[in-house]
């Protein structure tokens, strides 16, 4: 799936709504793991879907069409804008046409911190319905390559996420953002390669709660 195809079909929204066929889902995952724009779209759609609530009842977001889902997202954004406008804008509202309070949009962040490539396998409890940030550092190299490839793989060797890091950015902490439901309970390896050479990586275990 190309970036233009993903945008035109609103694949990020359909992905969160579980409204993609298996082949479409696989094609989109292959694309958005390498596309920062589509990864951001998936995270935004997940946060909106998680935050659309009326009282204690969750709006049946899953049953909207793709276009309706976009309309709901726009309505939430407009509502939030009214809630956070300066007081002078609030006073301008006409009393006969009150603006409804927007549903609260939560932005949960779960961070898995990988600190030592030589440490025993670490265990990390997470919520499966929230996004995850994987933080780590690339071990320094005597002769650093021009770029590094960092891949998250499960024990079967299936790639869950990948990020390419430039030589300059490798001097700082690296973050890989994962959408909700990308990780399941089990063991994972963070494989780091510099050019054709594999660099010591990280091993960790996830417990989905």
Please give the C-alpha separations between residue 174 and each of 21, 163, 207, in angstroms, as whole numbers. Answer: 33, 9, 22
Specify the pLDDT at position 155.
92
- Residues 10-36: pLDDT tens digits? 887 777 777 778 788 778 777 766 777
DSSP string, 58-95: EP-GGGS-HHHHHHHHHHHHHHHHHHHS-HHHHHHS-T
The string of pLDDT tens digits covering residues 103-135 is: 444 445 799 999 887 766 778 999 999 999 999
- Per residue in 157-181, pLDDT (tens digit) is 999 999 999 999 999 999 999 999 9
What does the alpha-carbon distance between residue 9 and residue 35 come to, in Å, rounded to a whole number?
16
SS3 sequence, 22-50?
HHHHHHHHHHHCCCHHHHHHHHHHHHHHH
CA 88 – CA 85 distance, rounded (Å): 8
What 3-state class would DSSP assign to 138?
Answer: coil
Residue 80, pLDDT above cutoff 60 = no
Q: Which residues contact 22 (CB under 8 A, 6 or more apart)?
A: none
What mean pLDDT is predicted for residues 35-59? Answer: 63
What are the residue ranges spanned by the domains of the chain? Answer: 3-92, 110-208
pTM: 0.50
Q: What is the CATH number of domain 110-208?
A: 2.60.40.10
- Give the mean model confidence (pLDDT) for residues 61-67: 41
């Amino acid at each position: 799936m190309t970036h233009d195809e993903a945008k035109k079909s609103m694949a990020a929204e359909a992905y969160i709504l579980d409204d993609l066929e298996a082949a479409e889902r696989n094609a989109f995952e292959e694309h958005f793991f390498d596309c920062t724009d589509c990864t951001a779209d998936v995270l935004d759609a997940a946060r909106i879907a998680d935050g659309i609530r009326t009282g204690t009842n969750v709006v049946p977001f899953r049953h909207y069409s793709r276009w309706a889902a976009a309309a709901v997202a726009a309505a939430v954004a407009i509502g939030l804008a009214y809630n956070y406008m300066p007081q002078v804008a609030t006073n301008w509202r006409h009393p006969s046409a009150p603006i409804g309070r927007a549903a609260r949009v939560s932005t949960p962040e779960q961070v898995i911190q990988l600190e030592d490539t030589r440490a025993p396998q670490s265990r990390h409890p997470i919520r499966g319905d929230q996004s995850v940030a994987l933080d780590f550092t690339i071990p320094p190299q005597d002769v650093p390559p021009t770029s590094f490839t960092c891949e998250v793989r499960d024990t079967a060797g299936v790639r869950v996420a990948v990020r390419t890091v430039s030589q300059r950015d490798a001097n700082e902490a690296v973050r890989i953002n994962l959408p909700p439901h990308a990780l399941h309970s089990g063991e994972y390896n963070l494989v780091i390669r510099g050019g054709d050479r594999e660099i010591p990586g990280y091993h960790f275990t996830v417990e989905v709660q």
